[in-house]
Structure formats: structure tokens, C-alpha cells
Amino acid sequence: MDEVYKEFGNFTSQILKYSLGTTDDIETKELKKVIKKAVKKYEEKTGESINLDALENSIDDEVKILKKEIKEERENHQ
């Protein structure tokens, strides 16, 4: 679980850096790897199945929306 918390902290830091303009992208590769591990453990423990493709697509979609909103907010304050 520590790995999940650490990666979500990293992801949050990337969002803040993107918002401040100190980075040009929000990387989700490591976040997806950690989520994949957590989902596999969850599936083994519960017997339930999670659609990882849908989850990863959702992450990608939300990051695109977030980046668009941040960009619009920057443009509105210039």
C-alpha cells in the first residue's frame, strides 16, 4: 500500500507542477503500473474482476480534461 500512496503523491505533485508551469506534461505510466498491481491484489483477494483497460482509459481521459482546464485557467488570467 505504501507504493500506492507514494505514487499518488507523485501524481499530485506533477499536477501542481503542471499548474505552476514548471512541467509540460503529467505522466501516468508509473501511476498505472501501481494501480495495476493493486487491482491484481484486489482481484485475488475478492475474486472480483476489474476492467483495467477502462480504468486506464479513464485516467487518460481525466488527465486530458485536467490539462485542458488548467490551460484555460492560465489563459484567462493572462
Domain locations along the chain: 2-76
Q: How many CA atoms lie within 13 A of 64 on its CB side?
A: 6
Residues 6+ apart with CB under 8 A from 8: 31
Q: pLDDT value at position 74?
A: 85
* Distance in angstroms (rounded) separating the CA atoms of residues 35 and 4: 7
Backbone dihedral region of 49: left (phi > 0), alpha (psi from -120 to 50 degrees) or beta? beta
Q: Which three cell numbers stand for residue 19?
A: 499548474
CB atoms within 10 A of CB 55: 14
Overall pTM > 0.75: yes
Q: pLDDT tens for residues 55-68? A: 999 999 999 999 99
